[in-house]
Amino acid sequence: MKIAIASGKGGTGKTTLSTNLASYLAEKDKVVLIDLDVEEPNSGLFINGEMAYKEDKFKMIPEWEQDDCTLCGICQEVCNFHAVIQLSTQIMIFPELCHSCYACSELCPTSVLPMIPREMGKLKHYQNGNLSFVESRLNIGEEKAVPLISQTIEYVDEHFSDDIIKLYDAPPGTSCPVIEATKGVDFVILVTEPTPFGLHDLKIVVDTMKKLKKRYGIVINRFGIGNDDVLKYCHEEKIPILAKIPNNRRIAELYSCGELIYKKIPGVKQQLKDIEDYIMEIKNKGTG
Amino acid sequence: MKIAFTAKGTEWDSLIDPRFGRTEFIVIYDDEKNELFHDDNRDIESVAHGAGPQTAQKLFELTPDVLVTGNGPGGNAARVFEQSDIKIYVGANEMTVQEAFDAYKKGELKEF
């Protein structure tokens, strides 16, 4: 079963929830935690483990071979992302803008744009008892997170059965990387905070999940600050609230030291259990 | 000589658009013909990625000798300019096209 932990607003507690939930579930059963926030992965700060595997990840980009080019201009016409540009007698490629769609390469009448691999980041796989942790990290300067996110999900699907709980720590926001990280999952946990800013971005991510036809529930973090508007919104929209993690300075202190909170903060374990119960009910009933 | 400006309008008293890739207009002054003309670049608003190279390509085709702009082109657009002889002057933020032209003539703008 695949579960994404997402949020509209950044800094609401996706990583706190992902790492604690993964470790808590791993006390009983096999779990895979995957950090898909490849532009700034940080789940690894909370997970200790032996590195089991590491590989460079590549994306395919076109390379211009000048000799047989007729400068017909088809390549730049078919590129939706302005990654291929013709300047008088030059074809320029912008690898960071390329979406690896192959259009320029395949439609080139003289085949002078072969696709070649370019390193975009690194995947690492750690193992700690029942808990497997996979993270990918985009190279500095790379603009596209989506290809690395999709290759990371592929890696996990090739190495772990869908019977295991897979937790995707998603990037914040609602743009392409979030769509990529959530489109294939069975359930999405949306982490929010009970503030006007939290609610504003929560509404955007709820609309996104509705469009993707996802099942989702909400975890309110830092419960106790702000106001009741998030609670009212969830009530009106009939969105299940899976857990409320209290606002507590000690949680921030533990987080800043790279420590998990559920063993040390009373009540958090029960909140994680509530989430587990909800997930297990969906798992046992199927996703319909 | 043709001098291009990134601008928020089409006239001498229009403000310079400090952005290169997402500039609303490219205004060009041809000092031999004493003509001011412009290219409407506002379609760029709907482009999610690659605004810099696209605007740079457009500018390339307008064949100016000089570009006067605000913040200066980003990395991708700068790569396009490496292929051209266009001289780029930056720092015309908050000026009108006229003021930016005068500042360029007096040598007050920084070459990119």
Show the domains of chain A with their CATH numbers.
Answer: 2-57+121-285 (3.40.50.300), 64-113 (3.30.70.20)
- Asked if pLDDT for residue A287 goes beyond 70, the answer is no
Of residues B51, B60, B76, nearest to A87 (C-beta): B60
Contact assessment for residue A211 and residue A244, using Cβ atoms and an 8 Å cutoff? no
Q: Contact A85/B47, CB-based, under 8 Å?
A: no
pLDDT tens digits, one per residue of A83-130: 999 988 889 999 988 989 999 999 999 999 999 999 999 999 999 999
pLDDT tens digits, one per residue of A183-236: 999 999 999 999 999 999 999 999 999 999 999 999 999 999 999 999 999 999
Cβ-based contacts of A140 with chain B (< 8 Å): none
ipTM value: 0.76
Closest Cα partner for A145 from A59, A6, A60, A39?
A39
Cβ-based contacts of A85 with chain B (< 8 Å): 53-54, 56-57, 80
Cβ-based contacts of B79 with chain A (< 8 Å): 92, 94
Q: Collect all residues from A whose CB is shorter than 8 A from any CB in B.
A: 81-83, 85-88, 90, 92, 94, 96-97, 143
- Tell me which amino acid residue A226 is: G
CA distance A100 to A147: 8
In chain B, the residue whose alpha carbon lies closest to the alpha carbon of A143 is: B49
Confidence of residue A286 (pLDDT cuts 50, 70, 90): low
> In chain B, how many domains are there?
1
* The Cα angle at residue B55 between residues B51 and B59, in degrees rounded to 5: 170
CA distance B72 to A97: 20
Q: Contact A92/B83, CB-based, under 8 Å?
A: yes
Structural domain harbouring B78: 2-111
CATH number of the domain that B71 lies in? Answer: 3.30.420.130
In chain B, the residue whose alpha carbon lies closest to the alpha carbon of A90 is: B83
Mean pLDDT score, B75-79: 90
Alpha carbon distances (Å) from A104 to A96, A97, A176? 15, 13, 22
Confidence of residue A285 (pLDDT cuts 50, 70, 90): confident
Of residues A82, A87, A97, nearest to B83 (C-beta): A87
Neighbouring C-alpha atoms within 13 Å toward the C-beta of A250: 11
Q: In percent, how much of chain B has pLDDT > 70? A: 100
Of residues B50, B80, B84, nearest to A97 (C-beta): B50
Instruction: Give pLDDT, residue A122.
Output: 98
Helical residues (DSSP H) of A124-228, grouped into ranges: 146-159, 176-182, 196-211
Full 3-state SS string of A49-76: CEEEEEEEEEEEEECCCCCCCCCCCHHH
